Amino acid sequence: MKPSRDISGLIEIMAALRHPETGCPWDIKQDFASIKPYTIEEAYEVADAIERNDPEDLCDELGDLLLQVVFHARMAEEKELFSFEDVVEAITRKMIRRHPHVFERSDADTPDKVKAQWVEIKAEEKADRAARRVARGLPQTETPGQLTEVPRALPALMEALKLQEAASRVGFDWGAAGPVLDKIEEEIAELREEIASGETEKAAAELGDVIFAVANLARHLKTDPENALRSTNTKFRSRFAQVEAGLAKEGKTPASASLDEMEALWQAAKLRP
C-alpha cells in the first residue's frame, strides 16, 4: 500500500483497516456512534486551520475530515446500507438540483435570490425525504413547520442563530438591534431573580434565554456569534498566558498566587495591544 492521489487508494486503505481478520483492532471495533465525536472534532480542526491562515495544516486537516467520510461509508457498505460511491452520487445530484441557475435555467441572478431559491429547494428535499420515510414505515422525525429546516444536531449556538434566521424569514423578528438589547437586559433580570432564589434549574433555563438573546443580537449586528466568541477565547488565552508569565517571573504559578495578584497582571495584560 502506497500514498496515492486517487480516492480509490484511501478507500482501499480503509477496507484494509476494517478487515475482520487482518485489519486494525481499533478500527474494526468502531461504529457510527463511536466515530461521530471524531468527525465533529475534525470539522472543528479544519475551521481552526482556516482561522490560523495555515494552508499546510488546512490541507492536512481536510484529509482527516475526508477520512471520516470514507470511514462512515465503509461501515455502511459492510452493513449493505450504502457505499462511498453512493455518497458521491448523492451530493453531486444535490448540488446540481440546488443550483438550477448554473446547471439549468433560473432567474436567481443575485446572491439574495440564490439564497431564497436554496431554502425553497431544501424545503422540497425535506418533504421528499419525509415522504420516503413514511413509505418505508418509519415515523416522522418532526412536525412539519417553518423551523424543521434547522437540524437539531447543530452546535447549540449555531442552531440558535439558524432558528432565528428561519423565524425572521416569516416576519417573526425585531427590526433593529435596540429592542434585542432590551430583551437581553430583561432576560438578565430574570436570571438574577432565579439565582437569588437558589433555583439552580430555573437559573440554568434563564441563562439559556440570555445566551439565545445574545445570539440574536449578534445576528442583528451581522456578526457570527461563534466567531465573536472564538475571538474572545483567543484573547483570553493570550491574556492568561501573560498572567502566567508574570507570575513565573516571581517564581509563582496561578495555583500558588492570590486572586488579587492575578487580577493585577490581568489588568496589565488588557492594556497591552
What cell was used for 156? 447549540
pTM: 0.60
Q: What was the pLDDT predicted at 139?
A: 67
Helix ranges (H only) for the chain are 7-17, 25-28, 32-51, 55-78, 84-98, 100-103, 111-135, 156-168, 177-197, 200-220, 225-249, 259-271
Contact 169, 123 (CB under 8 A): no
Which regions of the chain are under pLDDT 70?
138-144
Q: What was the pLDDT predicted at 240?
A: 97
Average pLDDT over all residues of the chain: 90
Q: What was the pLDDT predicted at 2?
A: 81
Q: What was the pLDDT predicted at 142?
A: 58
Q: SS3 for 44?
A: helix
Q: What was the pLDDT predicted at 207?
A: 97
How is residue 147 annotated by DSSP?
Answer: G
258: left (phi over 0), alpha (psi -120 to 50) or beta: beta
Q: What was the pLDDT predicted at 32?
A: 97
Instruction: Using the structure block, give the residue that is written with the C-alpha cell 495544516.
Output: 57
Nearest CA among 19, 1, 2, 12 for reference residue 70:
12
